[in-house]
Amino acid sequence: MTVTISMSSSLSIALADASAPPKGTQMSRRYSFDLFRLNIEDRADLFLRPNIQRLRTDDDIRMLLQVATEYEQDQIQKTRSAIFKWSLREYRDLRDSNNRELLHVILARSVLERDGVIVTDDGMSVGTSSLNPPLASTAVCFFDLSRHLVAVEHTGDLSQTAWKDFLQQILGSAAFRLERGSTIELEPVPEKNGIVGLFMSFERVTRMKVTLRIPNPELNRYTQAIYDDLEISGVREFTQDMKNPNGMSKSDNARPFASARGSALA
C-alpha cells in the first residue's frame, strides 16, 4: 500500500493497493483531511510535583499515542438520546515506509445505545436500541512529527460532532496514565498566507496581539531568532501585545510582519 501525502489546509491522501487492481490498472481511494497544529500544553497546577515529567520529545508523543489506543483511555459521551464511546485504535509507526516521522491512529465513535422509534411485530413503540458489539464511525488520523501537524480525516459521520474534544480527552487520559504534566491540543491551521494576507490587507494596524509557542519545527528567517531566544530563555509560550495609535510598520523586515508570519506557521 502506497501513501501519497500533500500538506495543505485541505490534505488529500491517495491510498492504492498495488495487489488489488488488475495488471495495467490502478485504483485509488481519496480522503479529505483537516490540518491541525500539534500543541503541547503544560498543566499549570500548584499541586503537581515540582519534578513531574512533561511531554517534550517525539518519543514522548509516540509513547502517548500508544497508550491512548488502550481501551482504558476510552471516553463515554452521553446525550439526550444516545450513549457513545470514543476510542483510539490501530497505532502504527510509518517511519519504515516513509521518509517522514509519521504516526497513524484511527479515531472511532461507537454507538452503545440510542433512543428512538422501534418497529415491533404488533406496531411501533419508543424505546432504546443497543448492539453488541456496537457499530462505529471512524476517522483516520496522521501525526506528522517532523512538522508537528495532525491530519484528521474529514468524514460525514464525525465532522459535525465534538470529535476534537473527545480526541483531546483521550490524549489527556493517556498523559495522566503516563504521569505526565502535559497533554496535546489541536489548533486549526489557517489557510496558506491567510494571516499574513489579512495583516497586509489593512490600511493601518494600530494593535496586534500574538502568542508564539515552541516547539515549532516550521521556522524561517523571520521566526528563527525568536525561537532561539525562547529556547535559550526556557520560555515555551510568549505573548506579544504591540500598539501604536498612528499605525505600525507593515514592512517585511519589521517586527509586526515577523510576528504575523510566525503566527501563520505556528
Q: Do 116 and 241 reside in the same domain of the chain?
A: no
In eight-state DSSP terms, residue 94 is G
Q: Is residue 10 part of a domain?
A: no
Beta bridge partners of 126: 117
> Do the domain assignments include residue 2?
no
The closest alpha carbon to 84, from 153, 156, 137, belongs to 137
Same-domain status, 138 and 247: no
Domain boundary among the residues 125, 160, 186 is at 186
Tens digit of each residue's pLDDT (9 = 90 or more) over 62-95: 999 999 999 999 999 999 999 999 999 999 998 8
List pLDDT tens digits, range 137-173.
999 999 998 888 899 999 888 988 899 999 999 999 9
Query: Could you tell me if residue 246 is inside a domain?
Result: yes
d(CA 13, CA 6): 7
State whether 44 and 165 are in the same domain. Answer: yes
Q: Residue 20: what pLDDT?
A: 42
- pLDDT in the model for residue 57: 87
Residues 72, 89: one domain?
Answer: yes
The total number of structural domains in the chain stands at: 2
Instruction: With beta carbons less than 8 A apart as the criterion, state whether 94 and 104 touch.
Output: yes
Alpha helices per DSSP H over the chain:
58-68, 163-177, 194-201, 224-233, 255-265
Shortest CA distance to 137 belongs to which of 115, 153, 118? Answer: 153
Rounded-to-integer distance, Cα 211 and Cα 229, Å: 15
Same domain for 175 and 79: yes
The reply to whether 94 and 141 lie within a common domain is: yes
- For 194-222, what is each residue's pLDDT tens digit? 677 778 888 888 988 877 776 655 566 66
129: domain range? 35-186
From the list 6, 13, 227, the residue with the least C-alpha distance to 140 is: 13
Residue 74 and residue 170 in contact, taking contact as beta carbons nearer than 8 Å: yes
